[in-house]
Structure 1
């Protein structure tokens, strides 16, 4: 099967190309950089060089390559994970997803692509009891930047799932970790934790759902052939509150325990978005992906690799409570 990947050189794009090739697919990776095009060719994929904001160019490369399936992984995220850098990147990230993604989708529909997969977000569900699933609405009333992002995601999802004559699949990924991500040992979040710059806010009650980028790629490849049209949550099996995963992450990095700040302090120092991430996120259930895609994600690496010695943190009890 011929697969066209838009966003082929990002954190998930690289392992996705590897997984698609390993499954015997003929892969075309979109990039606007000649240097990154060489990287794609070295991986064994065909490179298509075009700017996603140039609708005619995108239509031309998709028409020329005639893919059976398009996978859209378009993002424009900064190398550093700070409130300032995320706010600065938000406008361009939303634009590339809305405008650039619209160009890719329109071209795919025009040339008769059968199936279209798009990246979405699995940790922006509306607050509530229990784990969120595919039917849970997005947090449209969250803090300003997050609400802006959820509106973008909601539009992308609706746009795809209402496009006629196309099998649309939305993949709501959890927080990425693994090679090439902010949370890798050499990533920016790891640097901040080592420098005591990533505090626990309040009681650390916000629940995060994680996914290794290689597992995200595996699930995406499964959705190419096995998935039914609709939404899938792609996360690991055990969403964990910040009070569990953050100290464990620090210990895994051989760093000091993270500092604690009050909600009021965090609002003053980092703003509403950081407080939302630290106190309001809701975990997500991957039950549909496991059932329909045969998805078997690994456990969060830094939880399994170390033993936490703290009367406040009971990993197994947390897993049972959230399962």
Structure 2
């Protein structure tokens, strides 16, 4: 198939491009950088030069490419995983997802694209017992940043799934780990853990759903090829409470055990969002993706590494 990718040079875009090419797809990638265009061309990708905020240029690129499928991975996240950096990135990240994404979607519709996939978020299910699934209400009444993101995700997904004549698929990814992510061994979160700057909040009962970046790309390719319109939660098999995954992660990094702070302390230092992530986050089920996309995620690498180390 001919597949047009927006966000091809980001953390998921790079392995996604490689896997699409490996599967024999004809890939066109949107970029506004001549340098990135050259790199893409060297990988066997046809670059399409346009600024995602220039609706006319994006439309021209898509009409010229005439793809069957568009995969949108537009985000603008910082290299550092801190409250300050995330807050500073909010406005532009929202703009690129909402305005930039709207331009790509409108261009896809004008170009007669058959199927459109876009990145979404798996971990905003309303707090509760058990794992969230695709039907679970999002956490609109959560802490400020989480609630705002839940509203953004809802708007983005609604806009896609209600677009006429396009098979819309929203891929709600879990927390990325692996090469190039915050949680890689050389990533920013790893450095924070080594410096004991990533604490367990309260009893550490928040449940995180993990996803290796290569598995995210595999699932995306599968959805492009055989997914049904609608929403998919794309996460690993083992959602874990913070107190479990963070302790194992520290051991895997040969870092000191993470400190533990009270909810009150976390509110003062990181605000309500830090408390939500640490104590209220709800895990997500990947049952639908496994059933319909033959999704087989790998085991979380720092649990495997820890088990191996303990056995030796």
- Which interval holds the TM-score relative to the shorter structure? over 0.9
Q: Which residue of 1 aligns with 2:194?
A: 194
For each residue in 1:24-56, what CA deviation from the matched residue of structure 2 results, as whole angstroms up to 9, or x when unmatched? 000011111112222211221111111111000
**2: CA distance, partners of 1:158 / 1:74:** 17
Residue 34 of structure 1 corresponds to which residue in structure 2?
34
Q: Deviations over 1:270-319 (max 9, x none)?
A: 11111111111000000000000000000110011113999xxxxxxxxx
1:291 corresponds to: 291
In 2, the alpha carbon distance for the partners of 1:213 and 1:29 equals: 19
Distance 1:309 1:222, change over 3 A: closer
Pair 1:249 & 2:242 matched: no
Q: Distance in 2 between matches of 1:81 and 1:308?
A: 28
Residues 135-174 of structure 1 mapped to structure 2, 5 A cutoff: 135-174=135-174
1:320 is aligned to none
Distance, in Å, in 1 between the alignment partners of 2:65 and 2:15 is: 21
Give TM-score, length-normalised by structure 1.
0.94
User: Alignment partner of 1:290: what SS?
Assistant: helix
User: Which whole-Å CA distance do the structure 2 matches of 1:103 and 1:166 have between them?
Assistant: 15
Is it true that 1:129 corresponds to 2:129 in the alignment?
Answer: yes
Find out whether 1:219 has 2:219 as its counterpart.
yes
Q: Distance in 1 between matches of 2:71 and 2:40?
A: 15
Q: State the Cα deviation string for residues 186-239 of structure 1 (Å, max 9, x = none).
A: 110001001111001001000000000100000000001111100000001010
Cα distance in 2 for partners of 1:85, 1:102 equals 25
SS of alignment partner, residue 193 of structure 2 = helix
- For the residue of structure 2 that corresponds to 1:307, the secondary structure is helix
Match of 2:272 in 1: 272
| Structure 1 residue runs without a partner (length 5+) | 311-323
Q: Which residue of 1 aligns with 2:80?
A: 80
Matched residue of 2:307: which SS? coil
Paired residue secondary structure (2:28): strand
2:13 paired with 1:13: yes
Contact 1:178 1:184 in 2 (8 A): yes
Give me the TM-score of the superposition, normalised by structure 2: 0.98
Structure 1 segments of 4+ aligned residues over 6 angstroms from their partners: none
Secondary structure, aligned partner of 1:106:
helix
The answer to whether the 8 Å contact 1:202/1:279 transfers is yes
In 2, Cα distance between the equivalents of 1:196 and 1:288? 37
> C-alpha separation between the residues in 2 aligned to 1:7 and 1:18?
14
Q: Distance in 2 between matches of 1:158 and 1:132?
A: 19
Instruction: Name the residue aligned to 1:229.
Output: 229
Give the Cα separation in 2 of the matches to 1:258 and 1:145.
Answer: 24
Number of residue pairs matched? 310
Q: 2-side partners of 1:206 and 1:308: how far apart?
A: 26
Unaligned 5+ segments in structure 2 are: none
Partner of 2:60: 60
Answer whether contact 1:248 1:308 (CA < 8 A) is retained.
no
RMSD (CA atoms):
1.2
